[in-house]
Amino acid sequence: SQKIEQNSEALNIQEGKTATLTCNYTNYSPAYLQWYRQDPGRGPVFLLLIRENEKEKRKERLKVTFDTTLKQSLFHITASQPADSATYLCALDFGNTGKLIFGQGTTLQVKP
Amino acid sequence: EAGVAQSPRYKIIEKRQSVAFWCNPISGHATLYWYQQILGQGPKLLIQFQNNGVVDDSQLPKDRFSAERLKGVDSTLKIQPAKLEDSAVYLCASSLWTDSEAFFGQGTRLTVV
């Protein structure tokens, strides 16, 4: 079965630096991949979607890359702020059916 | 635009009791999902509806969990009887299409004692 791995250890960075989060998967590539942000006690909030034929997507300070050879997606937050502190989840749809399989999430802590 | 509404927000029950959760998705969204999120883990899909019909319920423990989507709009998820390992946050989400972003509700935190 498909496995999705995100860094289980929390990522601690200084304000203003770029945060880079990793999402790795096994076996075959998904039709598309999404990134979500989740704050404590709240549901996930959609950030970006990237399809298998796309290499990179940007939205304001956010950038997502998708490398089907490495079976990996990277999520970057540039000029990070303490307000960016949250858990970030990657979610993959392998059959283009809307069935999202989530990674376990990586907690980001941005220190002022 | 109103978001996905869920109730109740919190629920504490004893094992072997039953419980039901309610979800009202964003108006016009054809796809509705129920996810289970155990502390420290990512959400796990329990069931996916497309309008009235079930698209995927492969990970729904059907001996104790049931779900329905009424007239292709609201949905309820029921657990009967509950076990200790059902303690989790139950998230409802909806999306316009199957390959578009999902909008999540705040979730229902269930504690089984």
Beta bridge partners of A49: A34
Q: What percent of chain B has pLDDT over 70?
A: 99
Alpha-carbon gap, residue A94 to B93, rounded angstroms: 19
Mean per-residue pLDDT, B9-35: 97
pLDDT of residue A7: 86
In tens, the pLDDT along A53-111 reads: 999 999 999 999 999 999 999 999 999 999 999 999 999 998 888 889 999 999 999 99
Q: Are B18 and B79 in contact (CB under 8 A)?
A: yes
Q: How far is CA B30 from the centre of its chain?
A: 15
Mean pLDDT of chain B: 95
Residue burial A73-111, b: 16+ Cβ < 10 Å; e: rest: bbbbbeebeeebbbbbbbbbbbeeebbbbbbbbbbbebe
Alpha-carbon gap, residue B108 to B113, rounded angstroms: 16
Answer whether residue A9 shows pLDDT above 70: yes
The tokens of B26 are what?
């964003």
CB contacts < 8 A (A, B): 62
Q: Which of A93, A102, A106, A107 to mutate to test the interface with B (most CBs of B within 10 A)?
A: A102
Handedness of CA A99, A27, A30, A102 (dihedral sign): positive
In tens, the pLDDT along B86-106 reads: 999 999 999 998 778 999 999
Answer whether residue B54 shows pLDDT above 70: yes
Confidence category of residue B1, pLDDT binned at 50, 70, 90: low
pLDDT of residue A37: 98
Give the residue from B31, B62, B24 showing the smallest Cα distance to B46. Answer: B62
Task: Give chain A positions within 8 Å (CB) of B100.
Answer: 49
Q: Which of B40, B91, B98 sits opposite A43 (nearest CB)?
A: B91
Q: Are A45 and A62 in contact (CB under 8 A)?
A: no
